[in-house]
Structure 1
């Protein structure tokens, strides 16, 4: 069953207007809380944003930095972004019913690794509830953290827009050559 969830889960940048029950988002956070962490520190912190005004502010701050980033990007990355029709515009930050900001506790052992394990759990739990997301890491995470008055002891790791998917594009194919396991 878990493998089926993982196979089905894809990145979603377009969302239906219908707002999912908050209980489904909270369930996903509870699943994330079960992730392993260094010294069992559980260094993750979650901030759920529903306010249209706050989502708009976050979008504006992120797009300002994204525009600068896109103007500087070159080479293979520029080609890939163009091929996938990505731009500095991030409407999903406003259109998703929820934004879940995930923070790590600065100074906790293996904080970043632990938080990203929790994010993996969370993404599969969202899929179980038929919700979509995209792990979005803007180039100015610290500015977004300041915008939401996050304590200095926390580092923003990712913004997860959450809602019912309305994104018709298929999941990118997986690289089957990564399935090789060497033994000694």
Structure 2
């Protein structure tokens, strides 16, 4: 049992945010394998409220990028204080080139009428992230500030809400993984 847990721990430790990708597209089968893993996630009442939309069409990826960057510009124009200082310090801007440069986009939607849809969908995203890492693929969990334009572009049913866009490909991002808190800082037994 410990060996299995250590393998999962190693995947989690290795996994980092990737915003730059090599131009070579991974096999489509790898994308489907990762989604097969994600769909095994637990969900409230076993509703399995997730929907994965995979985009590899260059025009459609470009359109998603255009819509997201438009919403990012609105977001940045109204952002101040600590958040804006952090974004500036990290070099973030409204431009999201990874949305058109990554070979694939996996858009994860949640069915809002299902019980515990939000928690269940994000558990599936966690499974997906580790599966992609195991396959040697990188991604970032990009959450558009306003998902509505992308939902409309893809003609998503109104009861489905876009949760995240995962640009996926072979990593070409040299940035190291951000540090993590110590175990004793995040665990309490029998109380907070």
Normalising to structure 1: TM-score of the pair?
Answer: 0.97
Cα deviation per residue 1:39-65 (whole Å; 9 max; x = unaligned)?
A: 000000011000000000000000011
Cα deviation per residue 1:128-153 (whole Å; 9 max; x = unaligned)?
A: 00101111111121111101111122
Aligned counterparts, 1:23-172, within 5 A: 23-172=29-178
Q: State the Cα distance separating 1:175 from its structure 2 match.
A: 1.0
RMSD value over aligned CA atoms?
A: 1.0
Q: State the Cα distance separating 1:68 from its structure 2 match.
A: 1.3
Change (3 A) 1:180 1:152: closer
Q: Which runs of 4+ in 1 moved over 2 A?
A: 177-184
Return the alpha-carbon distance in structure 1 between the equivalents of residues 151 and 37 of structure 2. Answer: 24
For structure 2, list consecutive stretches of 5 or more residues without a partner in the other structure.
1-6
Q: State the Cα distance separating 1:180 from its structure 2 match.
A: 2.8
Return the alpha-carbon distance in structure 1 between the equivalents of residues 63 and 170 of structure 2. Answer: 22
Normalising to structure 2: TM-score of the pair?
Answer: 0.93
1:181 and 2:188 are equivalent in the alignment: yes
Count of residues in Structure 1 that have an aligned counterpart in Structure 2: 184
Task: For residue 48 of structure 1, give the secondary structure of its aligned residue in structure 2.
Answer: strand
Return the alpha-carbon distance in structure 2 between the equivalents of residues 27 and 12 of structure 1. Answer: 20
For structure 1, list consecutive stretches of 5 or more residues without a partner in the other structure.
none
